[in-house]
Amino acid sequence: MTRPTATPRDAKPALTPNLRFPEFRDGPGWDGKPMGEVYSFKGNNSLSRDKLNYEHGTVKNLHYGDIHTKFATLFDITKEPVPFISPAESLDGLRAENYCVEGDMVFADASEDLEDIGKSIELVRLNGERVVSGLHTILARPGAGELALGFGAYLFKSKRVRVQIQKESQGAKVLGISATRLTKIQLPIPPTKAEQQKIAECLSTLDELIGAEGQKLDALKAHQKGLMQQLFPRESETIPRLRFPEFHSAPGWTKKKIGRVVTPVVRERDKPSTAYTGLGLRSHGKGTFLKNAENPDKNSMEVLFEVKCDDLILNITFAWEGAVAIAKDCDDGALVSHRFPTFTINTEESIPGFLRYVILDKQFVYNLGVISPGGAGRNRVLNKRDFLGLSFLLPGIEEQKHIATCLSSLDDLIAARSERLAALETHKQGLLQQLFPSPAAASA
């Protein structure tokens, strides 16, 4: 793949990106055209989810929710789960021109999030299937020969275009964008389809790498999840289905109360007068996070509590949805409120590395929910005494160590794979903004 090179800034036309492939570097600047001159808008339908199904039908329907959460930027129908319009629904109102064709752009016209308003996909492969644009979508079709296939997908991801779409959106709680307002968007377009194609190929290659890396990451996570299910006993059993060889003849796991394994600890500290590091807990077993409290006066509590590495810590308000964790090295010394009780671990009974996986177990989180009475909204306050009375199964210390080592090695692989994926995503975003004129170029 040919790499783009920097464009000399002193000779840069107003609509020339910072990076250009060598064969186009000395070419004319890009054209700026209103979207209404490049695309025409076609009709969609307003069928809700309950009018769709994944088993039967002759026409498939693109729902705005799937654009927000599922579909790839370059939409290939052979790789995407797309629902049919249910046979009971009439297709008489579908005009021929409103069936999607390859090269069409489909936009989600509603979002609660400014970042996602006008999120779009380009239909690059429909495989001969009949497809229509559905509820809360806008279908836009480029003029014949106007754009190279795949270019539009990235054009509408560029910051220059995204900023304009966000400015044109309207609404309070739910933002919306209309075809009428989209027609005003100024699109920066290379003068030749060859340059458009080069940009699309460059970015789609990165997307393929990102997709492959994401699949590897998902496979690792699935492997770890399956392994955990094998290494821990099933409900009503005391022996796991998979054991390390040296423990094949060991007795079954023993049921113990949490109060025997952990001990409440209170490390009371006066609220600092200067900035300090606070600690929070994510729900769904996603661990701790640190936050810088720059202005202590905004915190009405005069007393805080110190966290130490390897503490078991939970959020009494959201424990029911898995807001529980084992403190990491980097958490040592962070401060929390009284809503985050901490416990030291009795290392004669268990080790932090093993308990880190116990608290991820579905049954454990379910039990936290049972002892968290309902309240307003998501707030369901757990009683610490009830927590200490919960029971769970434990193997001997040596077996705990083997399990913890095995699962933590997978955690390390997952972390490394996640970092690589994040680096690829960052590289792509940087390249995307360099290959298209910046928003500032509009006033150049």
Residue 263 belongs to what H/E stretch? Answer: strand 262-265
Say whether both 309 and 344 belong to one domain.
Answer: yes
Q: Are 132 and 59 in contact (CB under 8 A)?
A: yes
Say whether both 262 and 405 belong to one domain.
Answer: no
Q: Are 89 and 134 in contact (CB under 8 A)?
A: no
* Residue 244 forms part of a structural domain: no
Say whether both 376 and 405 belong to one domain.
Answer: no
Return d(Cα 99, Cα 43) in angstroms, integer: 9
Segments forming the whole domain that contains residue 287? 254-394
Say whether both 322 and 365 belong to one domain.
Answer: yes
* Residue 242 forms part of a structural domain: no
Say whether both 309 and 319 belong to one domain.
Answer: yes
Closest to 347 in 3D by CA, of 355, 339, 335: 355
Say whether both 44 and 180 belong to one domain.
Answer: yes
Say whether both 173 and 38 belong to one domain.
Answer: yes
Say whether both 409 and 357 belong to one domain.
Answer: no
* End-to-end Cα distance, the chain: 31
pLDDT at 172: 82
Give the domain CATH number at 205. Answer: 1.10.287.1120
Q: Partners of 290 in the beta sheet? A: 279
What is the number of helices (H) and of strands (E) in the chain? 11, 26
* Residue 302 forms part of a structural domain: yes
pLDDT of 193 strictly over 90: yes
pLDDT of 161 strictly over 80: yes
Q: What is the token pair recorded at 181? A: 């307002």
Region 396-424: mean pLDDT is 97
User: How does pLDDT run across 341-398, given as a tens digit for each residue?
Assistant: 999 999 999 999 999 999 998 889 999 999 998 765 677 899 999 999 999 999 999 9
pLDDT of 12 strictly over 80: no
Say whether both 262 and 177 belong to one domain.
Answer: no
| % of the chain surpassing 70 pLDDT | 95
Give the domain CATH number at 389. Answer: 3.90.220.20
pLDDT at 2: 59
Mean pLDDT of the chain: 93
Say whether both 424 and 383 belong to one domain.
Answer: no
State how many domains the chain has.
Answer: 3
Region 202-228: mean pLDDT is 96
Q: What is the token pair recorded at 186? A: 């100024």
**Strand locations in 223-261 (E):** 254-257
